[in-house]
Amino acid sequence: MNRTLIRLTTLPARMPRTLAKAAALATPALFLAQHAFGQAAGNTLGGRLQAASTDLTTGGGFVLEILGYLLGGAAMLAGIYTIWQHSKNPNGQARFGYGLVSILAGGAFLTASLFGTFSSQTLAGAGPSNTGTAQQMTFQ
Amino acid sequence: MQGFVNLGADFGTAIAILIPLICYLMGGGLLIASIYGFWQWLNPSHSPRHPWMPFAALFTSAALLSYDRMLNFANRTFGGGVRTSLSGNLTSYTPPTLNAGTFVGATPEDTLLNIITAFELFFEAYGALVVLFGLMGLYHVMQGNQQHTMGKPIVQIVFGIGVMNVLAIATTVMGYFA
């Protein structure tokens, strides 16, 4: 059997040709696939965005959660360190008030969703309606 | 015409799904940013250029997290009768089916109103998006990042509500010609 193996050293040199060949082969298939999708029910802009919205909301929720968790831990540690430094040298750079606020801010970071609920209740008279699941705005 | 209506309804649905996503990500981010601002407020080595920003971020985040209610406040003030809510049930778009026999109507005014009714979902969703951009613009003015004053985003918000209530406005205007 006469098979040509692509050596790793020659791969970058072959890339332009290989890519062009692959693109030429793939393009008609892509159009065919799109045509088939176009025929399928529900494959609309709204349908595509439903999938994207579900993914991004879930992923964004995780990112916000980890931000609150990390910043909360950092604020707590900074607060404890500041109060400790203040107790060692009351006239130094470390202010007691900043230490206290750091610990309070740490608590707010760790319970950010509750903080958001409070602010939403202040402004709109009810808890947040945007709850972190994929949602759709409806109009009546 | 039916295809054009389908396209408009599809764009409308896409925007209606995008709005809660933007609101959630920006609202959550601004909430974290506002807590960070409150934390750094008393930092001796920090002198904020705009000391009111943590409050501005907190209220903007609250407005974004309950955005449908804020829209309802504005819509009630405007009086067009459009109400919004957020639903967890994602539905696909349902464009209105046009009846070619009655679409033209008896008068030119009827024709115009029928066309606007056919594209109503798009207008409502696009108006809500314009108001959302206005709200974000308001926040950027408070940040001091814009050359213009608060007037521009406020006008944008008012006219965004107008776009949402285009049917009520058009009906009123057509009433003069009837």
B27 CB neighbour count, 10 Å cutoff: 25
Q: Mapping DSSP to helix (H, G, I), strand (E, B) and coil, where does residue B148 land?
A: coil
Q: Which of A14-18, A122-126, B42-46, B171-175 has the lowest mean pLDDT?
A: A14-18
Q: What percent of chain A has pLDDT over 90?
A: 36
CA distance B157 to B54: 22
What's chain A's average pLDDT? 77
Residue B15 near residue A48 (C-beta atoms within 8 A) = no
CA distance A97 to A63: 30
Query: B10, B19, B21, B91: best mutation site toward chain A, by most A Cβ within 10 Å?
Result: B21
Contact between chains at B35 and A109 (C-beta distance less than 8 A): yes
Distance from CA of B95 to the nearest CA of A (A): 12
Instruction: Encode pLDDT of B4-52 as tens digits.
Output: 898 898 899 889 999 999 999 999 999 999 999 999 988 888 888 888 9
* ipTM confidence: 0.81
Asked if pLDDT for residue A34 goes beyond 60, the answer is: no
Distance from CA of A36 to the nearest CA of B (A): 18
CA distance B53 to B51: 6
Residues of B within 8 A of A76 (CB-CB) are none
Asked if pLDDT for residue A41 goes beyond 60, the answer is: no
Q: Which residue of chain B comes nearest to A48, CA vs CA?
A: B14
Q: Which of A56, A116, A133 sits opposite B31 (nearest CB)?
A: A116
Q: According to the model, what pLDDT value does residue A37 have?
A: 41
Residue A134 near residue B90 (C-beta atoms within 8 A) = yes
Contact between chains at A98 and B128 (C-beta distance less than 8 A): no
Confidence of residue A134 (pLDDT cuts 50, 70, 90): confident
Asked if pLDDT for residue A28 goes beyond 70, the answer is: no
Residues of B within 8 A of A101 (CB-CB) are 38-39, 41-42
Q: What are the φ and ψ backbone dihedral angles of B90, each rounded to 5 degrees?
A: -75, 120
The pairs formed by B103-111 with CB atoms below 8 angstroms and a separation of 24 or more are: B103/B1, B107/B178, B109/B174, B109/B177, B109/B178
The residue that leads in pLDDT, A136 or A2, is A136
What's chain B's average pLDDT? 90
- List Cβ neighbours of A15 (8 Å cut-off, separation of 6 or more): none
Confidence of residue A2 (pLDDT cuts 50, 70, 90): low
Contact between chains at B62 and A128 (C-beta distance less than 8 A): yes
Average pLDDT (A52-63) is: 90
Residues of A within 8 A of B43 (CB-CB) are 98
The residue that leads in pLDDT, B98 or A108, is A108
Q: Which of A49, A101, A124 sits opposite B69 (nearest CB)?
A: A124
Top mean-pLDDT range of A124-133, B100-109, B164-173: B164-173
CA distance A52 to B3: 25
Q: Which residue of chain B comes nearest to A60, CA vs CA?
A: B25
Identify which of A113, A81, A116 has the alpha carbon closest to the alpha carbon of residue A100. A81
Q: What are the φ and ψ backbone dihedral angles of B87, each rounded to 5 degrees?
A: -120, 140
Q: According to the model, what pLDDT value does residue A32 have?
A: 44
Contact between chains at B24 and A130 (C-beta distance less than 8 A): yes
Asked if pLDDT for residue A1 goes beyond 50, the answer is: no
Q: According to the model, what pLDDT value does residue B32 have?
A: 95
Q: Is the pTM of this model over 0.95?
A: no
User: Cα B114 from chain centroid?
Assistant: 23
Cα torsion through B47, B52, B54, B60, rounded to 10: -150
Q: Which of A17-31, A116-130, B45-59, B78-92 has the lowest mean pLDDT?
A: A17-31
Q: According to the model, what pLDDT value does residue A3 have?
A: 53
Token reading at B30: 């601004």
Q: From start to end of chain A, where are the E strands?
A: 136-139
Q: Which of A8-22, A30-44, A68-82, B50-64 has the lowest mean pLDDT?
A: A30-44
